[in-house]
């Protein structure tokens, strides 16, 4: 089997936020691509789907909700999406879920927190392969 890195697409119109997320994710060994809005993100997805998406909400041209609806309408392998917002509004969270997000985190996401969720969603966090589980299987 070919050796590839898990690919993550970071979608945010703020370069600072992209750099922040990229820094965290690349340090953890992921291949990170960036898109500055929903439209550009869709172009990237058209080239090849990703293993995970980190999506901002408020972006020009096509916002995060719009991007997710488009993404989830595509006939491609669907990967988890983390929506990152600055507002802790319950309404926004519901809209995010309806649009197709799998997680709703509030900015700024601490590096440890982001990584913990990314690793979990990708099935990469350390598995508790302790004796109990072993016997269970």
Report whether 117 contacts 84 (CB < 8 A).
Answer: no
Toward other proteins, which CB reaches closer, 54 or 109? 109
Can residue 13 be called a binding residue for other proteins (CB under 8 A)?
Answer: yes
Instruction: Report in angstroms how near the CB of residue 19 gets to other proteins at its nearest.
Output: 5
Can residue 110 be called a binding residue for other proteins (CB under 8 A)?
Answer: yes
Report whether 67 contacts 11 (CB < 8 A).
Answer: yes
Can residue 41 be called a binding residue for other proteins (CB under 8 A)?
Answer: no
Residue with tokens 């992921």: 30
- The number of angstroms, rounded, from the C-alpha of 123 to the middle of its chain's C-alpha atoms is 13
Can residue 24 be called a binding residue for other proteins (CB under 8 A)?
Answer: yes
One of 39, 55, 100, 135 touching other proteins (CB under 8 A): 100
Can residue 109 be called a binding residue for other proteins (CB under 8 A)?
Answer: yes
Q: Is 79 left (phi over 0), alpha (psi -120 to 50) or beta?
A: beta
Instruction: Report how many residues bind other proteins under the rule CB under 8 A.
Output: 83
DSSP letter at 123 equals T
One of 6, 45, 64, 65 touching other proteins (CB under 8 A): 6
Report whether 46 contacts 70 (CB < 8 A).
Answer: no
């Amino acid at each position: 089997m070919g050796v590839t890195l898990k690919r993550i697409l970071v979608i945010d119109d703020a370069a600072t936020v992209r750099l922040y997320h990229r820094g965290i994710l690349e340090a953890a060994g992921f291949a990170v691509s960036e898109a500055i809005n929903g439209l550009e993100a869709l172009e990237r997805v058209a080239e090849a789907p990703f293993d995970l998406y980190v999506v901002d909400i408020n972006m020009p041209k096509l916002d995060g909700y719009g991007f997710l609806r488009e993404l989830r309408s595509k006939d491609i392998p669907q990967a988890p999406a983390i929506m990152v917002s600055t507002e802790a509004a319950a309404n926004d969270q519901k809209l995010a879920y309806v649009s197709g997000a799998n997680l709703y985190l509030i900015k700024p996401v601490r590096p440890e927190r982001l990584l913990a969720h990314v690793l979990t969603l990708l099935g990469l966090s350390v598995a508790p392969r302790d004796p109990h589980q072993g016997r269970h299987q």
